[in-house]
Structure 1
Amino acid sequence: MLDLFEPQLLGATVPLSNRIVMPSMTRTRTSEGDVPNELMAMYYGQRAGAGLIVTEATDVAPSSKGYAWTPGIYNENQLQGWRLVTNEVHRNGGTIFVQLWHVGRMAHPSLMPNGKAPWGVTEQKAANSDVFAHGEDGKLRYMRAGTPRRLGTDEVSALVGTFAQAFANARQVGFDGVELHAANGYLFEQFTNSVHNTRTDRYGGGSVEDRTRFLMEVVDAAVRELGPGRVGVRLSPFGEYNSIPADPLAEETLLYVCEQLGRRGVAYIHLLYQLLPPGNMESAEFKELHIDHAVLAKVRAVFPGAIIWCGGFTNREKAQAALDTGLVDLIAMGRPYIGNPDLVERLRHRWPLVEADRSTYYTRRGEVGFTDFAAYADADASTARSAG
């Protein structure tokens, strides 16, 4: 039986100190120019006790941006900022992958280069979903995603090269690997969804091979750059977030993708199994759902790598119970990591957990709600000194 606190070897070359993952969480604390900074380095360094850290979603190009103040990894200033982060995490004994995305239609012209339309698989707008962008008065607010323009076939192929450069940049600045964000209704899922993808070219929705071609070409580029075992893929096969339509072929597509990723030596699949409503990051309620054992058993049968489960895990008992099924290898715990930088130790010793103020999740308030949470042992010692 697996234990939450025992080591795990990811792929053949990436050792993890435990089976607890800090998943990607957007926090909007970058400097001007979408540059990672010393505050972000402190934030991730504080949480280096996680078996694996996956960074907040990171833009591979200016065109991939869907939310204000998310970091990029496409210019030298951004690379210098990410070096601060990886150095600090490694100094504290941690392992860190960068999550890379392109939001596709989930953007607004105010965030796009020269105010142009977002990039889409089709011209279909995400009619009921919001992005965090600049209004006509220049102020940041949540607003509906813009109407996309359909990418040409050659543009999709060129975007594979954009991701390939991002992989080279990630390796250059010291990341231990990359995770592709192919979940939550962003560009990869816009391609793989059989209802949304009505294209008729080689990236079109006529077959599962064509719908998943873009994802597989990007994965191939990642494996070439980073080597087997240093690539992960996040999937949300049954979600409806960001106005992605319910897909009657979701399970068929999931199993095909998992089998193909296994053939390519992908280290892990990061499964998010939540039915999220439309809206935005701030208003969405992340529902806690039971593991679908039947689907997971099918995934386990076709994918030889590790499976990460992310699904509202808030305490030790729920996380261990998921491992006890034998169907997953690692447990991702998102929100608990915001207020508990030493989450692994708190879970190990059954110390109380801090619940962070949700209003500080996506703000420009610097360290407030970001790096100002103390480790339990430090807070306990401080209380003892004050009492004395």
Structure 2
Amino acid sequence: MADLFSPVRLGALDLANRVVMAPMTRDRAGPDDEPTELMVEYYRQRASAGLIVTEGTQPSPHGKGYWRTPGIHSPAQVEGWRKVADAVHNAGGRIVVQLMHVGRAAVRANKAADAQTVAPSAIGCPDPIAGPDGVPVPTEMPRALAAHEIPGVIAEYVAAARNARVAGIDGVELHCASGYLPMQFLSSNSNQRTDAYGGAAENRVRFVVETLAALGAAIGPDRVGFRICPGVTFNGMADADPAETYATLLRAVDGMGLAYCHLIHVPNPGFDALDLVRANWSGPVIENCGLTAESAAKVIAEGRADAVSFGYAFIGNPDLVDRLRAGAPLAKADRATFYTGQGDDARGYTDYPTVSG
């Protein structure tokens, strides 16, 4: 019977254990959105995870919405990610970059002057987002993408995935949750298009399906994962029928040979998201959201997921896998230092001790 510490293969990714580090924005990138030496150390410290999924990383300047988040579209950024990949691999780990285009969830002051804010429809994100000084401000009203522009956005994702492989990163994860661009296409309230990318669920999933297909064609589908969260309301999401939307999406991508589906499992009236995934997707599943050592072990033992991911627990416990294996207590992460916006600020980032000191 599988347990948390048994190896598993997700597509082309051979994991030493089933404990995955979930993607978490930390706002420590350099002034040109490049990974810093501090970020190299942060990921190196956590390389005992079976797989690290990096913080959300913009595939292009247009995809940025938050302060000090990294990109993977310039030579300096690619070189920074190369150092991260080398450090993780030298420590025996595996790492994929989460590609995150925020779409309408963007603050103008956080973006380059010539970067645009685009979305499936010209509908603003109702949730404020922190600007460069950390104070939440209203988001910028997006411009609706014309149909002929959509292949260009997908091409930005593809270029980013190729850059990740050039940097030595093991694969990519398409961020289709948290109210960012792919989810804006998926959700009926943020997608009011009347063309082939809007309306019925079969059309609203088209952008994600085409992007995953293009990523797979570029770097191999078995090095491409995707993250979803059916029913989440973050950043103004309010899909009329998330069960229908995500069942349609999962069935559409099930035959692509993708590496995994990474599920943020939140409660929904009328359906269980993990049951929905298992009923419509035959590939590997990473389960996430509020797991404890006990509940994570249970979901693996029962075969309901192939791996489990932890977020906050990995912030305060760089040696989380060792602590879980030993049954050692977990340190508490300091929320006040989650998002400092300072590329050289190690507080609450790389200064957490291991259980052995």
Identity %: 41
The answer on whether the counterparts of 1:108 and 1:117 sit within 8 Å (CA) in structure 2 is no
The 5 A counterparts of 1:211-226 are 211-226=204-219
Q: Hey, what's the Cα distance between the residues in 1 that align with 2:243 and 2:260?
A: 18
Residue by residue over 1:196-236, the C-alpha shift from the partner in whole angstroms, topping out at 9 and shown as x without a partner, is: 211012212x2222211111111111111211311110001
How far off its partner does 1:290 sit?
10
Secondary structure in 1 aligned to 2:131? strand
How far off its partner does 1:27 sit?
0.6
Q: Hey, what's the Cα distance between the residues in 2 that align with 1:370 and 1:237?
A: 30
The answer on whether the counterparts of 2:243 and 2:276 sit within 8 Å (CA) in structure 1 is no
Secondary structure in 2 aligned to 1:234? strand
How far off its partner does 1:302 sit?
2.6
The answer on whether the counterparts of 1:238 and 1:273 sit within 8 Å (CA) in structure 2 is no
Q: Hey, what's the Cα distance between the residues in 2 that align with 1:63 and 1:95?
A: 28
State the partner residue of 1:355.
332
One-letter amino acid of the counterpart of residue 299, structure 1: V
How far off its partner does 1:273 sit?
2.2
Q: 2:352 aligns with which of 346, 366, 373?
A: 373
Residue by residue over 1:269-301, the C-alpha shift from the partner in whole angstroms, topping out at 9 and shown as x without a partner, is: 111123xxxxxxxxxxxxxx6999854234223
Aligned residue pairs total 355
Correspondence 1:42 to 2:47: no
Please say which of residues 231-240 and 295-304 is displaced more in the overlay. 295-304
State the partner residue of 2:223.
230
State the partner residue of 2:253.
261
Structure 1 residue runs without a partner (length 5+): 275-288, 380-388
Higher relative contact order (CA 8 A, sep 6+): 2
The answer on whether the counterparts of 1:24 and 1:57 sit within 8 Å (CA) in structure 2 is yes
State the partner residue of 1:316.
293
Judged with a 3 Å threshold, the aligned counterparts in structure 2 of structure 1 residues 354 and 292 are, in CA distance, closer, same or farther, namely farther
Judged with a 3 Å threshold, the aligned counterparts in structure 2 of structure 1 residues 116 and 359 are, in CA distance, closer, same or farther, namely same
How far off its partner does 1:132 sit?
2.2
How far off its partner does 1:16 sit?
0.4
One-letter amino acid of the counterpart of residue 17, structure 1: A
How far off its partner does 1:50 sit?
0.4
TM-score with structure 1 setting the length: 0.88
Correspondence 1:296 to 2:274: yes
Q: Hey, what's the Cα distance between the residues in 2 that align with 1:327 and 1:310?
A: 12
User: What is the Cα-based RMSD across aligned positions, in Å?
Assistant: 1.8
Q: 1:345 aligns with which of 322, 329, 351?
A: 322
One-letter amino acid of the counterpart of residue 103, structure 2: G
One-letter amino acid of the counterpart of residue 108, structure 2: P
Judged with a 3 Å threshold, the aligned counterparts in structure 2 of structure 1 residues 161 and 296 are, in CA distance, closer, same or farther, namely same
> Which has the greater radius of gyration?
1
State the partner residue of 2:283.
305
How far off its partner does 1:140 sit?
4.2
The answer on whether the counterparts of 1:293 and 1:327 sit within 8 Å (CA) in structure 2 is no
The answer on whether the counterparts of 2:13 and 2:259 sit within 8 Å (CA) in structure 1 is no
The 5 A counterparts of 1:54-133 are 54-114=53-113, 118-127=117-126, 129-133=127-131
Secondary structure in 1 aligned to 2:135? strand
State the partner residue of 2:201.
208
State the partner residue of 1:15.
14
Residue by residue over 1:308-361, the C-alpha shift from the partner in whole angstroms, topping out at 9 and shown as x without a partner, is: 111112x31121122234221111110000011110000000111110110000
Judged with a 3 Å threshold, the aligned counterparts in structure 2 of structure 1 residues 172 and 302 are, in CA distance, closer, same or farther, namely same
Structure 2 residue runs without a partner (length 5+): none
Residue by residue over 1:173-206, the C-alpha shift from the partner in whole angstroms, topping out at 9 and shown as x without a partner, is: 01111000000110001001123211012212x2
One-letter amino acid of the counterpart of residue 66, structure 2: Y
The answer on whether the counterparts of 1:120 and 1:150 sit within 8 Å (CA) in structure 2 is yes
The answer on whether the counterparts of 2:62 and 2:116 sit within 8 Å (CA) in structure 1 is no
Q: 1:333 aligns with which of 304, 310, 330?
A: 310
Secondary structure in 2 aligned to 1:110? helix
Q: Hey, what's the Cα distance between the residues in 1 that align with 2:290 and 2:345?
A: 26
Q: Which runs of 4+ in 1 moved over 3 A?
A: 289-295
Q: 1:174 aligns with which of 145, 168, 184?
A: 168
Q: Hey, what's the Cα distance between the residues in 2 that align with 1:38 and 1:335?
A: 22
Judged with a 3 Å threshold, the aligned counterparts in structure 2 of structure 1 residues 349 and 290 are, in CA distance, closer, same or farther, namely farther
The answer on whether the counterparts of 1:117 and 1:146 sit within 8 Å (CA) in structure 2 is no
One-letter amino acid of the counterpart of residue 366, structure 1: D
Secondary structure in 1 aligned to 2:190? coil
Q: Hey, what's the Cα distance between the residues in 1 that align with 2:71 and 2:252?
A: 28
TM-score with structure 2 setting the length: 0.95
Residue by residue over 1:119-165, the C-alpha shift from the partner in whole angstroms, topping out at 9 and shown as x without a partner, is: 121111112x122224xxxx442212121111111122211111111
Q: Hey, what's the Cα distance between the residues in 1 that align with 2:176 and 2:85?
A: 23
State the partner residue of 1:157.
151
The answer on whether the counterparts of 2:102 and 2:181 sit within 8 Å (CA) in structure 1 is yes
One-letter amino acid of the counterpart of residue 327, structure 1: R
Q: Hey, what's the Cα distance between the residues in 2 that align with 1:102 and 1:322?
A: 31
